[in-house]
Amino acid sequence: MTEQPTPRLSTLDRLLPVWIGAAMALGLILGRVFPDLNDQLDDVKIDTVSLPIAIGLLVMMYPVLAKVKYKALGHVVGDRRSLLASLAITWLAGPAIMFTLAWLTLPDLPEYRTGLIIVGIAPCIAMVLIWIDLATGDRELAAVLVAINSIVQIVAYSLLGYFYLELLPDWLGLDSEGIDVTVWAIAKSVLIFLGVPLLAGFLTRTFLERAKGTEWYEGRFLPRIGPIALYGLLFTIVILFALQGDRITNQPLDVARIALPLLAYFAIMWFGTFWVGRRMHLSYERNTTISFTAAGNNFELAIAVAISVFGVSSGQALAGVVGPLIEVPVLVGLVYVAQHRKRNYPHP
């Protein structure tokens, strides 16, 4: 069997933490120059979100969902254990671990804690394909998992959000006063900011592949629209930091406190899943695929939901923005860890 060539991370993706940092700095400057920016943005809204921010969120999500290989849902995956293990870890273990870390590390900061939980219940459906490719994982399994997770998020995200934000804290006797959220509030955000671009992405792939072919669609069209997602993300970050400048400059350690449970989460999810895969005697390619799927998060959706439900100036939105700032360099590092482990990985 010929080994897959190791792909390279594009300059745009490799420098994502730099772009995010620059967007944060620009946002802080704009917040000083335009102190009444929030009032101006609120003039026109989509649901509870100002129109410019709503457009940025939708633009951020569309290219991601246009990349999903929806036909993969109809493919048979040779080893069903990999699929079942990934779904169990992603949808059951992952949210529970983030919930635990958020409450242990941020008991006194309910907005940031809620923001982290919102991040933890959304598995990655975009950049995870990059990490899996770089680590030479199983591309077929990755395509199936991304397609399944994209569809499942429509229903499961709002239910998990309500469970971990409202029901479970109440059952455990935890003080979640001030965090009042309903299933409908989350579901409405998911339907707008995931459902609409998901439908647009599905229709785009279906009709353009039929008209131009898969090679043209993936080789020509997707590379052209891909950077648009980054522009939408950076625009959203600029606005968030423009509106939260005072909080950030007055409480700089808050960002560090948000980062710590995120670092712990990525490590626990990746190394824990990789260990489980070894115990299940999965091949390196499949084990790597489910490990990165478990560790990555859909921070685009988390940011959209946080803004829509809690507001653009909320701590929940800030926590969502810190997510990709931490996730990208950590998962790049885990790619090198995976490549190192591949050398001594037993072949089934």
Reading phi first (left if > 0) and then psi (alpha if -120 to 50, else beta), residue 131 is in alpha
- Residue 46 has a pLDDT of 66
- Residue 216 has a pLDDT of 95
Q: What is the DSSP string of 246-259?
A: HHHHH-THHHHHHH
CB 158, CB 186: distance < 8 Å: yes
Does residue 329 surpass a pLDDT of 60?
Answer: yes
- Residue 348 has a pLDDT of 57
Mean pLDDT across the chain, nearest whole number?
Answer: 85
What gap in Å lies between CA 293 and CA 146, rounded to an integer? 8
Structure tokens belonging to residue 169: 């804290």
- Residue 271 has a pLDDT of 97
Q: Which of 179-188, 260-269, 312-321 has the lowest mean pLDDT?
A: 179-188
What gap in Å lies between CA 132 and CA 332, rounded to an integer? 10
Enclosing H/E stretch for 232: helix 222-243
- Residue 5 has a pLDDT of 47
3 state DSSP class of 39: helix
Helices (H) and strands (E) counted in the chain, each on its own, are 19, 2
Per-residue pLDDT, averaged over 213-219, amounts to 93
Give the domains, in start order, of the chain with CATH numbers.
11-342 (1.20.1530.20)
What gap in Å lies between CA 142 and CA 129, rounded to an integer? 7
Per-residue pLDDT, averaged over 292-307, amounts to 89
Nearest residue to 296 via CA among 139, 145, 179: 145
Structure tokens belonging to residue 249: 């400059």
Per-residue pLDDT, averaged over 17-34, amounts to 84
**Higher pLDDT among residues 101 and 185, named by residue:** 101
Per-residue pLDDT, averaged over 236-245, amounts to 79
**Higher pLDDT among residues 267 and 125, named by residue:** 267
| Residue pLDDT, tens place only, 256-283 | 899 999 999 999 999 999 999 999 999 9
Provide, for the chain, the percentages of residues in helix, strand and coil under a 3-state DSSP scheme, each rounded to the nearest 5: 80, 0, 20
CB 61, CB 197: distance < 8 Å: yes
Does residue 294 surpass a pLDDT of 90?
Answer: yes
Torsion angle of C-alpha atoms 210, 212, 216, 218, degrees rounded to 10 = -30
Regarding pTM above 0.75, the answer is: yes
- Residue 9 has a pLDDT of 55
In sequence order, what E strands does the chain have? 45-46, 49-50
Q: What are phi and psi of 123, to 5 degrees?
A: -70, 150
**Higher pLDDT among residues 173 and 94, named by residue:** 94
CB 290, CB 86: distance < 8 Å: yes
State the DSSP code for 42: T
What gap in Å lies between CA 17 and CA 149, rounded to an integer? 25
What gap in Å lies between CA 165 and CA 302, rounded to an integer? 14
β partners of residue 49: 46
